[in-house]
A and B are shown apart, each in its own frame.
Chain A
Amino acid sequence: MLDLRNVNFGYSRHRKVLTDVSFSVRSGASVGLVGESGSGKTTLLRLLLGLEWPTSGTICFGDDPLDPADGAFMRRYRRAVQPVFQDPYSSLDPRQKVLDIIAEPLQSLRIAGPHKDAVAQALEAVGLPLDAMQRYPHEFSGGQRQRIAIARAIVARPQIILADEAVSALDLSTRIRIVDLFKTLSATLTLVFVSHDLGVVAALCEEMVILEKGQVVESGKTRDILAAPQHPYTRRLLSSIPRMPA
């Protein structure tokens, strides 16, 4: 569904952020992109969202490469791909009602209204009551806000959800519930989940791609990588994670 081939990217000519990144995301897969700060994971996500373009290399959606000149194709792509961001406090417009926030993608993708039914379905899918529609973001807790952000992402029935550290700002007891929600959604959607938290990715994603300093050091089935990490960086990452006492 998504296929990255030798993607290179730099914000300036002298500083490369991504070097020769290649991997693919099959339809229906759940893939975790794991890396620490400076690994290029957020930049990679920006490329996947079509907000930046590779300096060289290609990103294919289906059989066709993303192309800024092909407006019709990019519109189709943007409809197929929806983001969920890290901080539900800054990613929701405080002056809009939840109904309008969730309906926003439908409007910007020029999908004909009325949108109320679609919004109601999205709210139901993320486990929020229907009366949430008429309320404002500040009336909700962090976990509920993240549910609103997820409802907004799924309302236009995308094929792929791109989540950027989507549970990192949440408390542990909330985080586990939002991870469960993503897990439920990933049964019917393709999920690309960017995170620094290997534990969350391990619990959620079947596959993962490990990034270090803009390069893919290891990728494959989560189970296999955890059982036998091949790259020294993956091993260091794994051994750094504090574990619960037995």
Chain B
Amino acid sequence: MSALLSVQGLTVSTGGKTLVSDLSFSIGAGERMGLIGESGSGKSMTAMAVTGLLPGNISVSGSIILDCQEVVGADDRHLNRLRGVATAVVFQEPLTALDPLMKIGKQIAEPVRRRLAREQGRAMRLAVDREVLDLLDKVALPQPERIANAYPHEVSGGQRQRVAIAMALACRPKLLIADEPTTALDVTTQAEILRLLDGLVRETGMALLFISHDLPVVAQVVERVMVLRDGIALEEGAVADVFGNPSHDYTQTLVDAARVFDEALGRTGS
């Protein structure tokens, strides 16, 4: 079986500066993989490249095969078809990812309408509305009707991120890309969102590409991780192997640092 996403020799550069260098990895259907890196490691660049969202002044070479189609060099018409069907993204900051002037229900309705039109040839308004409420319910938002009628600024940060997840789910993508989806959230909210994401990914059988700088967070939701630094992949493997027995000094530094804070908390929290 060919992989859902296969990245080969991906290099991203701009103005003579290489942001991602010769990166290769693949994700099979239903697989959950994490990209770990600190700022400037190229992890978000990689996600943007996969969705074909990099701005024109950034040059991309190598190959990204997503759902049997080449992303590198593809035009927007092709990419638009891939986006949604093959992949959807949840970004870090839900306040900037959502349109502040559009009611939440209407924002979620857009991808729903597109998918229904694609699948059934038409999108009946009633069917769209019902699906929007279903999605709000699925991401465990209380009073879906009220939320659908609210603007993004009227709900909390955690609720906004649930809305962003609902929008991504509305596409029923084969691969969900989550780029630091809980970094802007409080720790108690983060725990809820991680539980939600984990449950939804398992339930729908989507593949997941989870991008984060936070080692324990990554460990909670993925099976396999790749560690990036300065655009270069340092190592890749099962979470237990990479965190338990890092082969690269840099990974060891990260794991040690994470363990200092983890051990300071004692074992009461687990």
Name A residues whose Cβ lies closer than 8 Å to a Cβ of B.
36-37, 142, 171-173, 175-176, 196-200, 202-203, 226-229, 236-245
Name B residues whose Cβ lies closer than 8 Å to a Cβ of A.
38-39, 157, 186-191, 194, 213-217, 219-220, 239-240, 243-244, 253-262, 264-266, 268-270
- Of B39, B239, B244, B269, which is within 8 A of A243 by CB? B269
- Of A173, A237, A243, which is within 8 A of B254 by CB? A173
Cβ–Cβ contact A196 & B186, under 8 A: yes
Q: What is the total of A-B residue contacts with beta carbons within 8 Å? A: 96
Cβ–Cβ contact B219 & A245, under 8 A: yes
Q: By DSSP majority rule, is chain B's interface helix, strand, loop, or mixed?
A: helix
- Of A37, A199, A238, which is within 8 A of B261 by CB? A199
9 further contact pairs, Cβ within 8 A, besides A176-B257, A241-B191: A37-B157, A37-B186, A171-B39, A172-B213, A172-B258, A176-B256, A197-B187, A203-B261, A228-B268
Q: How far is the CA of A142 from the CA of B213 in the complex (A)?
A: 16
The answer to whether residues A245 and B240 also contact, given A37-B157, A172-B38, A238-B269 and a CB cut-off of 8 A, is: yes
Cβ–Cβ contact A242 & B217, under 8 A: yes
Cβ–Cβ contact B191 & A240, under 8 A: yes
- Of A171, A226, A237, which is within 8 A of B213 by CB? A171
Q: How far is the CA of A40 from the CA of B268 in the complex (A)?
A: 26
Cβ–Cβ contact A237 & B188, under 8 A: yes
Q: How far is the CA of A52 from the CA of B142 in the complex (A)?
A: 37
- Of A173, A203, A229, which is within 8 A of B253 by CB? A173
Q: How far is the CA of A227 from the CA of B264 in the complex (A)?
A: 11
- Of B191, B215, B244, which is within 8 A of A172 by CB? B215
Q: How far is the CA of A228 from the CA of B269 in the complex (A)?
A: 10
Q: Inside 8 A of B259's CB, which chain A residues have their CB?
A: 244
Q: Inside 8 A of A226's CB, which chain B residues have their CB?
A: 265-266, 268-269
Q: How far is the CB of A207 from chain B (nearest CB, A)?
A: 14
Q: How far is the CA of A200 from the CA of B214 in the complex (A)?
A: 13
Q: Inside 8 A of A245's CB, which chain B residues have their CB?
A: 216, 219, 239-240, 243-244
Please provide the 3 A-B residue pairs with the shortest distance between their CB atoms, ordered closest to farther.
A199-B261, A202-B264, A240-B191
Q: How far is the CB of A177 from chain B (nearest CB, A)?
A: 9
- Of A171, A196, A227, A239, which is within 8 A of B38 by CB? A171
Cβ–Cβ contact A198 & B213, under 8 A: no
Q: How far is the CA of A238 from the CA of B262 in the complex (A)?
A: 11
Q: Inside 8 A of A199's CB, which chain B residues have their CB?
A: 261-262, 264-265
Q: How far is the CA of A200 from the CA of B188 in the complex (A)?
A: 16
Q: How far is the CA of A173 from the CA of B227 in the complex (A)?
A: 14
Q: How far is the CA of A198 from the CA of B190 in the complex (A)?
A: 14
Cβ–Cβ contact A198 & B186, under 8 A: no
Q: Inside 8 A of A203's CB, which chain B residues have their CB?
A: 260-261, 264
30 residue pairs of the A-B complex, CB under 8 angstroms, read A36-B189, A171-B38, A172-B38, A172-B214, A172-B254, A172-B257, A173-B253, A175-B257, A176-B256, A199-B264, A199-B265, A202-B261, A202-B265, A202-B266, A203-B264, A226-B268, A227-B266, A227-B268, A228-B268, A237-B187, A237-B188, A239-B191, A240-B187, A240-B191, A241-B269, A242-B190, A242-B216, A242-B217, A243-B216, A244-B259
